[in-house]
Chain A
Amino acid sequence: MIEIEIDGRQLQVAEGSTIMDAAHRAGIFVPHFCYHEKLSIAANCRMCLVEVEKAPKPLPACATPVMNGMRVFTHSEQAIDAQKGVMEFLLINHPLDCPICDQGGECQLQDLAVGYGASGSRYEESKRVVSNKNLGSLISTDMTRCIHCTRCVRFGREIAGIMELGMIGRGEHSEIITFIGKTVDSELSGNVIDLCPVGALTSKPFRYSARTWELTRRPSVSPHCGLGANLTVQVKQNRVMRALPRENENINECWLSDKDRFSYEGLNSEQRLARPMLRRGSAWEHVEWQVALDFVARELKRIRERHGAASIGALATPHQTLEELFLLGKLAREFASGNVDFRLRQADFRADERLRGAPWLGMNIAELGSLDRALVVGSTLRKDHPLLAHRLRQAVKRGMQLTLVNPVDDDLLMRVAAKAIVAPQAMPRMLAQVLKAAARLKNGELPAGQRAALEAIEVTEPAERVAASLVSGKSAAVFLGNLAQHHPDALELHALAQELAALTGARAGFLGEAANSVGGYIAGAVPFAAEPRGMNARQMLAEPRKAYLLLGVEAELDTHDPAQALAAMRAAELVVALSPFEHKAVEYAHVMLPVAPFTETAGTFVNTEGAAQSFNGVVRPLAEARPAWKVLRVLGNLLGIPGFGYDSAEQVRDEILGGGELAARLDNRLSDTTLGMIGAAAGGLQRIGEVPIYAADALVRRAQSLQRTRDAATAVAWMNRALFDRLGLRDGDQVRVRQGTGEALVPAAVDDRLPADCVRLAAAREETAALGAMFGPVEAERVAARQQVAV
């Protein structure tokens, strides 16, 4: 520690810190634009010039390291003179038209100009005009307002991992642009809107729709990926106008992924279900809640009487609140023989018998940054977990080795130390190889439970390298991503990852797919949570039930096998769809009940690190929509189930979380990791069916601006060059992909980094909703460009 003095105050500060750090810690404000805590120092705006004793000229606080005995004056005549001088320069070419600027009212330049600007301008020459740039559907530009602080440039280079914005030109002609003709496509791009201290980069969806002072700020939690990003939702006249990051260093820091930032648009979608609807023959009729719920209760009782309790199934998405999932589970156990599940995209439930607790990240999110080795198994990391990927990226920059066992090889915008890219069905075998190689490197015994399976397996070079990386670390982790969780051999991957972690001293964890992927287990929305033990999601759809309660579920988009799910729905005597949106359920449901999305209800999400984050509704429910926990409460009462007399969501939450420590309920370990033989890969074409970032849940699918990004482009069948040629495909051709009884006609394209004989074709999309499971055998044939015209 060294001693310095700022504005007469004696301070003890760490060596190597800057005057800005020291001032910040002491609560002394130094005006600045280019400086940002999370970005590298640029020292280019010069707004933070301060007087330092014995220095001949003012020094930038952001870039000047403290020295013992240094005396700093942030408000001396010299400092103020320098700051005012810089402010004058910043304003001479800046349009002084705050009333028509979208940043007005939340503009750092405007704010600081009040303190450091003059009331009139001495500048009487002509002003600079800079042409606007098309950055895509999310970010709007007004480049004449740019003050060249380069925060956006540094964000891309340092945080997002891709430099999509840069500065060209010199002097007064310098301007921020994208690569020629390119848009900004990073899944973290929206953060530059927050970073831009002026109105040069603003939110395109929000643009000119409200003024900041008209908006009420309400805290909330994002309902999308497993991160549980903290939001400030801004509301005007009972309408959500935008979402901004709420700083939480342990979770999202000061960032938001574009999905968390822009999917609020879906809340105001035209597809919002406004009133309860009842099917009358082939037509739909608006009815009162009482009528709808009476109908549901009556029908459920009838079906239960006629076909038995086990003929009813309850399905929810992992984006529902903890309270909703809990009530659904409770209802299912009392009334539907325990048939309840929220793991709709999971295919392999064999692990249920062996789970010791709720699968979770296995560590705090912030700990990702301190790992020195990480093996990620089965993940489209950047797209599934944009900010977890960012944490890993920062760790890689600090020297962490990232390794992969994956069926896809997308650019993760960070260095990958070693990777084994194999077809989905070969992943367990590859992970087994890694385990075997690690055992050899550790001179250890093969784990007893897998000895038989491993002995027959030969270790290949990629597995060797992944293992070598993992065993050489001091703080290692093995993560199972979404593709591993959705994998038909998820048990094998889980068991092998557990043994690999045990052998190498690594921690094992799951990268939580959705806001309540952990919470669903905690809430007991799984068939094995308590007696009676019921059917899991797959069983309920593979062996169709007579009645389904769907909570937020869009059967063809949220399930592992959409063809199977749709068939089950169509065959059912009763489908009750609780959803904020009107969707394909109009074709198969009998009742549609409008329930509140996360902004219109109180609730809790338990994120991937096991943090329970509760929130209140930020707006009143739209029209006649009601919070789902209330709907389930009434339904429980109508069905005559005891224990549904809750007064508030808090009461429900307290019953779930009780006084008990949540951490005690988190456990990734299987009680038994014994595996049978791990089969060799079958022949034929295999599908890699990942869930695209902006198709993952009902809300984001309705966020129009996100749906216009490159990440939301039409589904394409990707395959390597060899397969492309073998199918006789030429550029521009489409391919007909058949799976089971369904088929999809999609454009074909080459990605030579894909494993042999694999077709990468997204799930959770309209275009592929007729297909079957996300993984498994498919057939493909060429449809020539000309043929399509004829059709």
Chain B
Amino acid sequence: MGLPVPPFAHDVFGPDAIILKGLDGLNWRLKDYEARGGYQALRKVLAEKIPPEAIVNEVKKSALRGRGGAGFPAGLKWSFMPRRFSGQKYLVCNSDEGEPGTFKDRDILRYNPHVVIEGMALAAYTTGASVGYNYIHGEIWDIYERFEEALAEARAAGYIGKNILGSDLSFELHAHHGFGAYICGEETGLLESIEGKRGLPRFRPPFPASYGLYGKPTTVNNTETFAAVPWIVLNGGEAYVNLGRPNNGGTKIFSVSGDVGRPGNYEVPLGTPFAKLLDMAGGMRDGRKLKACIPGGSSMPVLPGGVMMQTDMDYDSIAKAGSMLGSGAVIVMDETRCMVKSLLRLSYFYFEESCGQCTPCREGTGWLYRMVHRIEHGKGRKEDLDVLDNVADNIAGRTICALGDAAALPVKSFVKHFRDEFKYHIEHGKCLVPEYL
């Protein structure tokens, strides 16, 4: 039970893993990574002088979609970087993994940091960025320290720095840690934070590709996105897309948590049925029934268990089912979970993490939280559910960044799918879930 303690079996993250393949929890150092074939992609690109455009094309072909939550095609994003821009360009890795339920970037950086470094070096080569930052969540300090160690190894071995492996490529990579603010995981809030300012998201346009870090063209990708790049460069985009499904290329690490037998990270091909993923995670704990599941991190709409069991784990299938794959945090809830209480926890989180910059989120998240709090504590009113839904509507899509949507979607989906439970709370002042469960 619980997370595996190193050394663990090489296939603990799933038999089809790419990024987390062959890891035992101790073999994270440079020599281990090289022994697993690490840095071959970088060597190949530099030796063969593969044109950057060709790499962008392979990544486009691979259907690698952003692993941080939005699922934006990575190749397309890279192609936005102005090629002819002669000034400074930046590359930023978003390891500020703050989405409740998500803990995959942590394990990538902990058990296989070099794959991120190699992926970033390849991206730097492709986008023309000469400086990169890996912004690591402030509450996983040991991971930050490990990444610094890995960076030192890579630098000493000539994978990072001036004239990498004797080539023309120069790329300096820095680790940067936040202090735990959720909003700093929002890419433009993250850029502000690197610049030493309050982590307040910027309005777009302009997008980071034209006006990013310090006002320079910048590409921001998630840790897992970068980690997938070396494999794509070595094996080709087509091979990658074939691992998953069309438009949903490759494997995805799902952080499965909640009421399951073996919570943890599982890297499976996109398109894997949820049932199979649940099985890998040890099935429902104590044989209880699946009541609900948030398939993509706390910001995404919750789905009833029945819907979930019919769904495959890829971007398009989950969207069709009415939620989003998001960061791949699968939060599993069994029949003992009170949906009002669960929503209260989520609403408090967004209330507390709102940056306060723009009106709907600053004012609306507190309103949502207070209403749910009242309902949970037996002081709900019958009009509350409609107001909740309407207030959520007034936040979603009207804020500077996606935190507004993230706060609104859970509210809307919880009330939609479990309206009876909320009504029961309001009418009876207590929970529908029997106490004996």
Instruction: Give the interface of A toward B (CB within 8 A).
Output: 41, 43-47, 49, 56-58, 60, 63-65, 82, 85-86, 88-90, 92-93, 122-123, 125-126, 128, 147-148, 167, 169-174
Contacts and interface: CB of A to CB of B under 8 A. Distances in A.
16 contacts: A44-B358, A46-B358, A46-B359, A58-B398, A82-B398, A85-B394, A89-B367, A93-B366, A125-B371, A170-B181, A170-B353, A170-B355, A172-B351, A172-B365, A172-B366, A174-B362
Contact of B352 (A47, A58, A122, A171): A171
B397 A58 contact: yes
Interface in B179-236: 181, 183, 198, 203, 205
B356 A170 contact: yes
Main secondary structure of the interface of B (DSSP, over half): helix
Contacts of A126: 370
A298 to B, nearest CB: 72
B397 A56 contact: yes
B359 A172 contact: no
Contacts of A128: 366
* Residue among A64, A169, A171, A174 having the largest count of chain B Cβ atoms under 10 Å: A171
A469 B353 CA distance: 49
A49 B203 CA distance: 13
Contact of B360 (A65, A89, A171): A89
B400 interface: yes
B205 A171 contact: no
Given A43-B400, A56-B397, A171 B358 contact: no
A730 B119 CA distance: 62
A86 B355 contact: no
Nearest to A126: B370
A90 B359 contact: yes
Contacts of B397: 56-58
A60 B362 contact: no
A49 to B, nearest CB: 6
Contact of A169 (B183, B356, B358, B398): B356
Given A57-B398, A171-B352, A44 B387 contact: no
Interface in B324-377: 351-367, 370-371, 374
Contacts of A45: 358-359
A170 B182 CA distance: 11
A85 B398 contact: yes
Contacts of A90: 359, 363
Contacts of A65: 205
A89 B355 contact: no
A171 B394 contact: no
A60 B359 contact: no
B79 interface: no
A173 B356 contact: yes
Contacts, number: 97
Given A56-B397, A86-B398, A125-B370, A44 B363 contact: no
A63 B398 CA distance: 13
Contacts of B359: 44-47, 86, 89-90, 147-148
B27 interface: no
Given A63-B203, A171-B352, A171-B355, A89 B364 contact: yes
B317 interface: no
A170 B398 CA distance: 19
Contacts of A147: 359
Contacts of A58: 397-398
B311 interface: no
Contacts of B362: 89, 148, 171-172, 174
Given A41-B203, A148-B362, A171 B398 contact: no
A171 B351 contact: yes
Contact of B367 (A41, A49, A123, A170): A123
A49 B363 CA distance: 17
B363 A93 contact: yes
A125 B357 CA distance: 21
* Residue among A46, A60, A128, A167 having the largest count of chain B Cβ atoms under 10 Å: A46
A85 B398 CA distance: 9
Nearest to A60: B203
A92 B352 contact: no
Contacts of B247: none
B57 interface: no
Contacts of B399: 46
Given A46-B359, A171-B352, A125 B367 contact: yes
B356 A43 contact: no
B122 to A, nearest CB: 33
Contact of A171 (B356, B387, B393, B400): B356
A219 B126 CA distance: 62
Nearest to A49: B398
Closest 3 CB pairs of A and B: A174-B356, A85-B394, A57-B397
A44 B398 contact: no
A125 B374 CA distance: 9
A171 B203 contact: no
A148 B370 CA distance: 21
A122 B398 contact: no
Given A65-B205, A89-B360, 14 more contacts: A60-B203, A92-B363, A92-B367, A123-B367, A128-B366, A147-B359, A169-B356, A170-B181, A170-B183, A170-B352, A170-B355, A171-B351, A172-B356, A174-B357
Nearest to B203: A43
B121 to A, nearest CB: 35
A447 to B, nearest CB: 44
Interface string B56-71: 0000000000000000
Interface string B393-417: 1100111100000000000000000
Given A44-B359, A45-B359, A49-B398, A171 B365 contact: yes
* Residue among B355, B364, B367, B400 having the largest count of chain A Cβ atoms under 10 Å: B367
Interface string B249-284: 000000000000000000000000000000000000
A600 to B, nearest CB: 46
B232 to A, nearest CB: 30
